[in-house]
Amino acid sequence: MGFLKTTCGVCNGDAGLTRLRLKQSKVDICSSCLKAAGGISVVNVAKATVEDVRKILQEKAERIGDDPMSKAEGMYGYCKEHNFGSGFNEKQSLKHFTVLQDNLLKGEKVLMTFIGLNDFKSATKHNNNYAYAITSKRIIFGQKKVAGQKFQAVEHGKINDISFKTGVLFGTLEIDTPYEKIKVGLDKGSATHINNKIHEVLDTLKEESKPVQETQQQVAAALSPADEIKKYKELLDMGAINQEEFDLKKKELLGL
C-alpha cells in the first residue's frame, strides 16, 4: 500500500511523512509548521485547533518582524562576523539562538549577541555553551537541549554590576543581580572585545533612557524670563489664559 498524501491544515502544503494530527480540527499538521509554532511542547496536538496554531505563528511573526537580528540566523551571523565566541558549531548554535528568538518580547530589539560557557567555574566545570543577547530590554540567554530547553532573562534595571577578568585560557564575565551571580566563560581571544561591546551597548541604552522630564527641565531652565513671558503673552492673545492669569505669571517670572 502506497503512502497516502495529505495536506497540512495550517499551510496547505504537503503534510509529509512526519505529520501529526490536530485532533480537534481533524486535520494534519506538517513538521515545518509544528516546529515553527514551537513544537509539541507548545502545540498540544490533542487539543489545539488550526486557528490556535495560526494565531501562534502570527504572533511570532509580529514579534520578530523584519529585523535580521530578531531571527536565530541573524544573531548567529553577528557572532561569526564579530568573532564573539568560539568552540561551537553552526547547527547547535542556531538551535541555541532559536531559543532566544522564540522568547523575544514584542518590540524587543536584539543589539548584540555572543556565545559563552554558562555557569562557568573552570575549563572543565560549566554548563556548556549558551547563546547570549543584549536586547533593548534585557540580557537573555538560553540553550537547546536534547529534551527541552533552558532560557533565562535579566532586565537591565535588575543588573547591579557587570565585572570581567581574564585568566590563562578564558575570560570570565560576571553579571551581578539581586538573585544570583551569572558567570560566563569566554575564550580569551574574544573575551575583552565582548565585554567592551556589552558595556558600550548598555551605556548607550542608559543614555537614551534618560527621563523625558529631565530633558524638559533642561530645556525650561535654558529659557529666560523674557522668553517665558513671551510664551504666556501668546497664550493670552490666543485666549488660552485670561489677563489676570497672565499678570500673575508675569510677576512670578520677574520675581515681583
Residue 7 lies in a domain: no
C-alpha distances in angstroms, 188 versus 83, 87, 162, 193, 231?
12, 12, 17, 10, 59
For the beta sheet containing 138-144, the strands, ordered from the edge strand earlier in sequence to the opposite edge, are 149-155, 138-144, 129-135, 110-118, 181-187, 170-176, 161-166
Is residue 163 domain-resident?
Answer: yes
Q: 96-129 as b/e, with b when 16 or more CB fall inside 10 Å?
A: bbbbbbbbbeeebebbbbbbbbbebeeeeebeeb
105 and 137 inside one domain: yes
Whether 103 and 40 map to the same domain: the answer is no
pLDDT at 133: 97
3 pLDDT above the threshold of 70: no
* Same-domain status, 236 and 156: no
249 and 132 assigned to the same domain: no
5 part of a folded domain: no
Q: Tens digits of per-residue pLDDT, 231-250? A: 888 888 887 788 888 888 88
**Do residues 196 and 223 share a domain?**
no
Residue 8 lies in a domain: no
Per-position DSSP letters for the chain, written without gaps between them: ------BBTTT-SB--TT-EEETTTTEEE-HHHHHHTT-TTT--TTT--HHHHHHHHHHHHHHHTT-GGGSHHHHHHHHHHHT---S--HHHHHHHHHHHHHTPPTT--EEEEEEEEET-SSSSSS--EEEEEEESSEEEEEEE-SSSEEEEEEEGGG--EEEEEE-SSEEEEEEE-SS-EEEEEEEHHHHHHHHHHHHHHHHHHHHHTS-HHHHHHHHHHHS-HHHHHHHHHHHHHHTSS-HHHHHHHHHHHHT-
Report the percent of the chain where pLDDT is more than 70: 92
Question: Which of 29-33, 42-46, 180-184, 215-219 shows the lowest mean pLDDT across its residues?
Answer: 215-219
In a domain, 118, yes or no: yes
Write the pLDDT tens digit of every residue in 190-241: 899 999 999 999 999 988 877 655 665 665 566 678 888 888 888 888 877 8
Lowest average pLDDT, out of 56-65, 120-129, 195-204, 235-244, goes to 56-65
Q: What is the CATH number of the domain that holds 124?
A: 2.30.29.30
Residue 10 inside a domain? The answer is: no
Judged against a pLDDT cut of 70, whether residue 78 lies above it is answered with yes
Tally of domains within the chain: 3
Q: Which domain holds residue 146?
A: 68-208
**CA separation for the pair 102, 60 (Å, rounded):** 7
Q: With contact defined as beta carbons under 8 Å apart, do 153 and 145 qualify?
A: no
CA 182 to chain centre: 18
Region 119-138: mean pLDDT is 94
Same domain, 81 and 186: yes
Band (100; pLDDT cuts 50, 70, 90): very high
pLDDT of 218 reads 63
Q: Are residues 134 and 184 in the same domain?
A: yes
**pLDDT exceeds 50 at position 1:** no
**Prediction pTM value:** 0.65
Does residue 117 fall inside a structural domain? Answer: yes
The grid coordinates of residue 58 equal 502570527
Assess whether 151 and 41 both reside in one domain. no
- The rounded distance, in Å, linking the Cα atoms of 92 and 75 is 13
Looking at the structure, tell me whether residues 51 and 75 fall in a common domain. no
The reply to whether 14 falls in a domain is: no
Domain co-membership, 98 together with 160: yes
The reply to whether 200 and 81 lie within a common domain is: yes
Q: Are residues 230 and 106 in the same domain?
A: no
171-179's contacts with Cβ under 8 Å and 24+ in sequence apart are 171/195, 172/120, 173/116, 173/198, 175/139
